[in-house]
Amino acid sequence: MTTEQSPPVARRIPQERTHHGDTVVDEYEWLRAKDDPETIAYLEAENSYTERQTEHLAGLRESIFTEIKDRTQETDLSVPTRRGSWWYYTRTVEGRQYGLHCRRRVDDPDDWTPPELDAHEDVDGEQVLLDGNAEAEGHDFFALGAFSVSRDGNLLAYATDTTGDERFTIRVKDLRTGELLADTIPNAHYGATWSLQGTHLFYTTVDDAWRPDKVWRHRIGAPTDDDVVVLHEPDDRYWVGVGSTRSERYLVIALGSKVTSEYHVIDAAEPEQEPRVVLPRREGVEYSVDHVVVDGSDRFLILHNDGAENFELVETPADATDPSNWRTLLPHDPAVRLESSDAFADRIVVGYRRDALTRLGVIEIGAGGYAPIHEIEFDETLFACDTAGNPEWTQPFVRIVYTSFVTPMTVYDYAPDSGSLVVRKRQPVLGGYDPADYEQHRAWAIADDGERIPISVVVRKGTPHDGSAPFLLYGYGAYEASSDPGFSIARLSLLDRGMGYAVAHVRGGGEMGRHWYENGRLLTKRNTFTDFVAAARQLVADGWTSHDRLVAEGASAGGLLMGAVANIAPEAFAGVLTEVPFVDALTSILDPSLPLTVIEWDEWGNPLRDSDVYAYMKAYSPYENVTAQAYPPILATTSLHDTRVLYVEPAKWVARLRAVTDGAADVLLKTEMSAGHGGVSGRYESWRERAYELAWALDKAGLASS
Task: List b or e across 341-354, with b for residues whose CB sees 16 or more CB atoms inside 10 angstroms.
Answer: bbbbeebbbbbbbe
Contact 332, 311 (CB under 8 A): yes
Using a 10 angstrom Cβ sphere, with 0-12 exposed, 13-18 middle and 19 or more buried, the burial of residue 653 is buried
Catalytic residue among 189, 264, 304, 677: 677
Catalytic residue among 304, 642, 681, 699: 642
Chain center to CA of 585 = 20
677 counts as catalytic: yes
Using a 10 angstrom Cβ sphere, with 0-12 exposed, 13-18 middle and 19 or more buried, the burial of residue 118 is exposed
Using a 10 angstrom Cβ sphere, with 0-12 exposed, 13-18 middle and 19 or more buried, the burial of residue 381 is middle
Contact 648, 584 (CB under 8 A): yes
Q: What is the DSSP string of 9-45?
A: -PPP--EEEEETTEEEEESSGGGG-TT-HHHHHHHHH
Containing H/E element for 691?
helix 683-700
Catalytic residue among 404, 493, 556, 639: 556
Q: What is the DSSP string of 81-96?
A: EEETTEEEEEEE-TT-
CA atoms within 13 A on the CB side of 391: 16
Structure letter (DSSP) for residue 195:
-
- Measured from the Cβ of residue 466, the count of other Cβ atoms closer than 10 Å reads 10
Distance CA 551, CA 634 (A): 10
Report the candidate in 264, 280, 261, 187 with the shortest Cα–Cα distance to residue 230: 264
Task: List b or e across 581-612, with b for residues whose CB sees 16 or more CB atoms inside 10 angstroms.
Answer: bbbbbbbbbbeeebbbbbbbbbbbbbbbebee
Distance CA 284, CA 605 (A): 14
What end-to-end distance do the CA atoms of the chain give, in Å? 35
Kindly list the catalytic residues.
Answer: 556, 642, 677
